[in-house]
Structure 1
Amino acid sequence: MNATAYDTLKTRYAKDWGRAVNHRFVNELVNDRLDDKTLRGYLIQDWQFSYDFYSLMGEAIATADTMSAKVRLGQQLGFIANDENSYFHERFSQFNVSEEELLSPELTPASTGFRKLYRQTVDAHSYAQALAVLVVAESMYLDWAEERTAHGTSMPEKAQNVGWVEVHRGEDFTEWVDFLIEEFNRVADPENDDVADCFANAVHYELGFFDDAYAWEDGRDKVVRG
Structure 2
Amino acid sequence: MPDQSFEDWAAGRPDPRFTDWLRERAQPLWTQAVTHRFVRDLAEGTLPEAVMARYLVQDYAFLDQFVRLLGSAIAKAPGLAERLPLSRFLAVVTSDENTYFHRAFDALGVTETERTDPDLREPTRGFHAVMAEAVAAKTYAETLVPLVVFEWLYLDWATSVADRQPGKFYLREWIDLHANPDFAAFVAWLRGQLDSAGPTLLPRKQQAAAAVFRHTVDLEKAFFDEAFVETA
Q: Does TM, scored on the shorter chain, surpass 0.5?
A: yes
* Native 8 Å contact 1:5 1:188 kept in 2: yes
Unaligned runs of 5+ in 2: 1-13
* Native 8 Å contact 2:25 2:210 kept in 1: no
Are 1:72 and 2:82 matched, yes or no?
no
- 1:134 maps to what in 2? 147
1:138-217 equivalence runs, <5 A: 138-147=151-160, 149=161, 152-189=162-199, 191=203, 192-216=206-230
- Per-residue deviation at 1:4? 1.1
- 1:91 maps to what in 2? 104
Candidates 41, 44, 61, aligned match of 2:54: 41
Whole-Å separation in 2 of the counterparts to 1:85 and 1:101: 15
The structure with the largest helix share of the pair is 2
1:49-128 equivalence runs, <5 A: 49-128=62-141
AA in 1 matched with 2:18: A
Whole-Å separation in 1 of the counterparts to 2:208 and 2:71: 19
- Per-residue deviation at 1:194? 3.0
* Native 8 Å contact 1:142 1:168 kept in 2: yes
- 2:40 maps to what in 1? 27
Q: Which runs of 4+ in 1 moved over 4 A?
A: none
AA in 1 matched with 2:173: G
* Native 8 Å contact 1:59 1:125 kept in 2: no
Deviations, residues 145-201 of structure 1 (Å, cap 9, x unaligned)? 111x2xx33332210100100110111110010011100100013842332222122
AA in 1 matched with 2:155: L
SS across alignment from 1:89? helix
AA in 1 matched with 2:159: E
AA in 2 matched with 1:199: F
Whole-Å separation in 2 of the counterparts to 1:135 and 1:105: 26
Whole-Å separation in 1 of the counterparts to 2:39 and 2:184: 18
Identical aligned residues as a percent: 33
- Per-residue deviation at 1:2? 5.1
Deviations, residues 6-37 of structure 1 (Å, cap 9, x unaligned)? 00110111211000111000000010000000
